[in-house]
Structure 1
Amino acid sequence: MKDRYDVIVVGAGPAGSIAAKTAAEKGLDVLLIEKRQEIGDPVRCAEGASKIYLKNHVEIDKKWICADLKGSRIYAPDGTLIEMAEEISGGEVGYVLERKIFDRALAEKAAEAGAEVRVKTRATDLIIEDGFVKGARLMHLGKKYEVRADIVIGADGVESKVGRWAGIDTALKPADIETCAQYLMTGLDIDQEYCEFYIGGKLAPGGYVWIFPKGEGKANVGIGLLGSETGKFKPRPIDYLNKFVEKRFPEGRIIEMVLGGVPVSGSIEKTSTNGLILVGDAARQSDPITGGGIINAMDAGKIAGEAAYEAISAGDVSEEMLEEAYEKRWRTTVGHEIDMSLVVKNCFINLDDEALNSLAHSLKDVKFERMLLLDLLYALFKANKKLLWDLRVLFKDAAKEVAKNKL
């Protein structure tokens, strides 16, 4: 390992690998580190990603596709079904990935672009001088390294330390975190072309249960609950999940389990400072409604890699420069979608099962194929007039969508 690079990327998930790949393609000398010995393991999500947006970053390889979905099915507390086509089902519906293969493939692409990849290497601290991040202190196979760089990109996940070391407030309240449990199950009788979502206070308070097919009778079956809905005297996510599995898949068999947390807080105040950029879950860039973050992470990672090149080329890695090159760009694209999702999350999170059933009844006969946002809002308002006020900010987006489609 050298003692200096242009860019150090901490974390080899989708955000980190795309950032490293983008920066390396621009000709920068990049070090990409991952604290675990295997990239992509353990899997910490349902593994769903939109086909359209995924193709913006990589050429699709069948080796890391488990299922090709047609859409999603959402079940209200009383069992009312709403079926949505893939195109309007959100950023998590399209392909179900094999993340253990997918994440490694992204890291390989970063390496092919020229980045140096080091596993079993963790950052223990940042080098900060005169108010600027100047590199990182690393530990690799028991040996300590002090490695300097013009920019450090923190892609170290929901538990990110990189941002805190640089003085960025990344604290999350319990209500800002989805605590999750997931089984990989086999022997399931399910439709492999649709993912399923189950909502309701008794089933998953402040969250939902998901089923993402993985082919050959397998699926990721998981649950996410708001942190505020779990605690010392409340059932754990795994307890709710076990209850669901016992009822829905009595003959199913569990072959893997994963536990973790996902930020659903919406945008934090800042994601960059002198010599530092945060991306992915470290920057709280996951969707506040679903907790999904693969596509957002890749989008932000690309912007971060481009911003690093622009800043280093200009000889200016100050907070002001990175705000222009990174902050403003991701906030007007990825960030805008996150902000709109947060509005919806805050509106729906307090609806009881009766209200959710009412909404489902108003939508069950709607053909969800290529519906405009305005159409969806109108259908919702028929069931709950209060939503007209709570979701008023979305009308601006709906109006823009209508105008765009008329051009």
Structure 2
Amino acid sequence: MTDHFDVVIAGAGPAGAQCARDLAERDYDVLVLETESEDEFPRQSNKSTAGTFPSMMGAFGIPDDVVMNFTDSVVLESPNDHFTQGQPGAVLEFADFKRFLVREGREHGAEYRFDSRATAPITENGSVVGVRYNGDEEVRTDVVVDATGPAAPLAKQLGVVDLERENQAIGIEWEMEGVEVNHPDYADLTDAMMLRLDHDLAPGGYSWIFHTGEDTAKVGLCYIQNKTYHADDEGLSIDGHLEKWLDNDPRFENAEKLEGKQHRGSAHIQPPSSLSTDGFMAIGDTVPSIDPLWGEGIHKGMKSARAAAITADRCLTGGVDTSAEEMRVYDDLWHRDVAPNASVRLLMTHLLYYAPNERYDRLMADINAMDVDTLASANGGNPLAIAKLLHREDLPMLRDFVRDDPEIVKQALPEFVPFL
């Protein structure tokens, strides 16, 4: 095996495998280091609900045979109301999806080394020139990409990311059968992806039911581990919150968990401190790239992978220049294509979770009355559209929010300025 590659990627998740796939298609020598063994891959990292949309499937050439169920709508639930919007989507079999990306990359020439845990960057004269893995093994490269997710061993040591526990969202999910997706007391969830806002179930987060066909569904919840949202959570663990929901929601009265189909994961809901440095980029959940408002991570992770591949191609074409200045092209692409209006959407996320339970019912009434274009603008972070979801009665809550989360408000202000 060669000891020098054009690009070395740590992590074979969707972001890492897609970056390898893109670069291998451009005939670069690419190595992917993956912690898990190949025989079990991706048992330990099979952590995603894997709900996505046709834009991702089409943009990245994802085949239908990794889809568990094609959906027709997205449903938002509050404790006593709901909103349904027609929106085609797809619930992926996440393990099959990851294996497809690895297989595609290999077919184009990318090399994978499983059982290979990246532990440290190798630097010379201030630039990253390689990766140390499995203790004392080394590989040299022109560009290093950290796609290891929240572990971020390379990015942390280089000071590229500073992931804070209070901004970490954790999640648990079971695949279940016997779920009554069309219960008379709730919205019809047949061929739907449902997200529920309800502090009694998921303080500082949301729960979900993603229909995967017939009477089966992915059922889970996630929340941010921030004490602001957990003052009245009864001291329950995340498992306890999920069990509370399963015990009390009649849609699960006859439901059973599928053996071996539990998934756990985490991601950070915070803006990136930085994204790259000399010879180095961080992608996917390492940055992090997950959508802060609704938790969709696959499409954004894939976009960050493509932005990194474009940057590496630029830096390696016509001579090698992997200086921090040249690598900063990735930063520009990330902010333009991966997470535009990131600070405003982060503000929306924290404000949404800060609101009391009864405010969620009013939110459902508001978005049911709102036209589709305005709703899309609000979801995209347009301050004028967001303002239409606020009421005079919200002023005390907004005052308390600004007092409790001043840094989040401060970060979002520059993105509000063009609209003022």
Q: TM-score, normalised by structure 2?
A: 0.84
Deviation string 1:344-367 (CA, Å, 9 cap, x unpaired) is: 113222111122222222333456
Partner of 2:169: 178
Taking the aligned partners of 1:359 and 1:83, their CA distance within structure 2 comes to: 13
Aligned AA for 2:75?
Answer: R
Taking the aligned partners of 1:278 and 1:213, their CA distance within structure 2 comes to: 33
Partner of 1:302: 306
Taking the aligned partners of 1:61 and 1:218, their CA distance within structure 2 comes to: 22
**Structure 1 residue 152: deviation in Å?**
0.7
- Indicate the SS of the match to 2:390: helix
Taking the aligned partners of 1:50 and 1:169, their CA distance within structure 2 comes to: 29
1:40 maps to 2:42: yes
1:381 maps to 2:390: yes
Q: 8 Å contact 1:34–1:121 — kept in the other structure?
A: yes
Please say which of residues 353-362 and 67-76 is displaced more in the overlay. 353-362
**Structure 1 residue 396: deviation in Å?**
7.8
Taking the aligned partners of 1:373 and 1:397, their CA distance within structure 2 comes to: 15
**Structure 1 residue 369: deviation in Å?**
8.3
Deviation string 1:43-62 (CA, Å, 9 cap, x unpaired) is: 2121101112331111x422
**Structure 1 residue 284: deviation in Å?**
0.8
The 5-angstrom pairing of residues 173-212 of structure 1 reads 173-174=165-166, 176-190=167-181, 191-212=189-210
**Structure 1 residue 113: deviation in Å?**
1.9
- Indicate the SS of the match to 2:242: helix
Q: 8 Å contact 2:343–2:415 — kept in the other structure?
A: no
The 5-angstrom pairing of residues 261-340 of structure 1 reads 261-265=266-270, 267-313=271-317, 314-323=319-328, 325-340=329-344
**Structure 1 residue 85: deviation in Å?**
2.1
Q: 1:104 to 1:398 in 2, by over 3 A?
A: farther
Aligned AA for 1:166?
Answer: L
Identical residues among aligned pairs (%): 25
Deviation string 1:106-135 (CA, Å, 9 cap, x unpaired) is: 111111222112222211222111111111
Pick one of 55, 62, 65 that aligns with 1:52.
55
Q: 8 Å contact 1:80–1:364 — kept in the other structure?
A: no
Query: Structure 2: which 5+ residue stretches go unaligned?
Result: 182-188, 379-383, 400-408
Q: 8 Å contact 2:315–2:322 — kept in the other structure?
A: yes
Taking the aligned partners of 2:149 and 2:222, their CA distance within structure 1 comes to: 17
Q: 1:330 to 1:384 in 2, by over 3 A?
A: farther
Q: 8 Å contact 1:359–1:384 — kept in the other structure?
A: no
The 5-angstrom pairing of residues 98-109 of structure 1 reads 98-109=93-104
Q: 8 Å contact 2:177–2:257 — kept in the other structure?
A: yes
Partner of 2:220: 222
- Indicate the SS of the match to 2:150: coil
1:348 maps to 2:352: yes
Deviation string 1:203-261 (CA, Å, 9 cap, x unpaired) is: 21111101111223221111111102469982111111001011220211112222231
Partner of 1:127: 122
Partner of 1:16: 16
Aligned AA for 2:355?
Answer: L
- Indicate the SS of the match to 2:172: strand
Please say which of residues 147-156 and 1-10 is displaced more in the overlay. 1-10
Q: 8 Å contact 1:363–1:379 — kept in the other structure?
A: no
Partner of 2:403: none
1:168 maps to 2:166: no
1:137 maps to 2:132: yes
Aligned AA for 1:35?
Answer: T
Q: 1:169 to 1:70 in 2, by over 3 A?
A: same
Taking the aligned partners of 1:69 and 1:14, their CA distance within structure 2 comes to: 21
Taking the aligned partners of 1:243 and 1:219, their CA distance within structure 2 comes to: 18
Taking the aligned partners of 1:301 and 1:136, their CA distance within structure 2 comes to: 19
**Structure 1 residue 372: deviation in Å?**
4.5
Taking the aligned partners of 1:196 and 1:291, their CA distance within structure 2 comes to: 13
Taking the aligned partners of 1:119 and 1:199, their CA distance within structure 2 comes to: 39
Taking the aligned partners of 1:184 and 1:372, their CA distance within structure 2 comes to: 30
Query: Structure 1: which 5+ residue stretches go unaligned?
Result: 88-93, 400-407
Q: 1:17 to 1:127 in 2, by over 3 A?
A: same
Q: 1:381 to 1:233 in 2, by over 3 A?
A: closer
Taking the aligned partners of 2:335 and 2:376, their CA distance within structure 1 comes to: 23
1:359 maps to 2:358: no
The 5-angstrom pairing of residues 143-162 of structure 1 reads 144-162=136-154
Please say which of residues 359-368 and 44-53 is displaced more in the overlay. 359-368
Q: 8 Å contact 2:122–2:131 — kept in the other structure?
A: yes
Taking the aligned partners of 1:127 and 1:393, their CA distance within structure 2 comes to: 37
1:234 maps to 2:235: yes
Q: 1:261 to 1:34 in 2, by over 3 A?
A: same
Q: 1:361 to 1:69 in 2, by over 3 A?
A: same
Aligned AA for 1:64?
Answer: V
Alignment RMSD, CA only?
Answer: 2.8
Partner of 1:86: 87
**Structure 1 residue 384: deviation in Å?**
5.6
Q: 8 Å contact 2:161–2:275 — kept in the other structure?
A: no
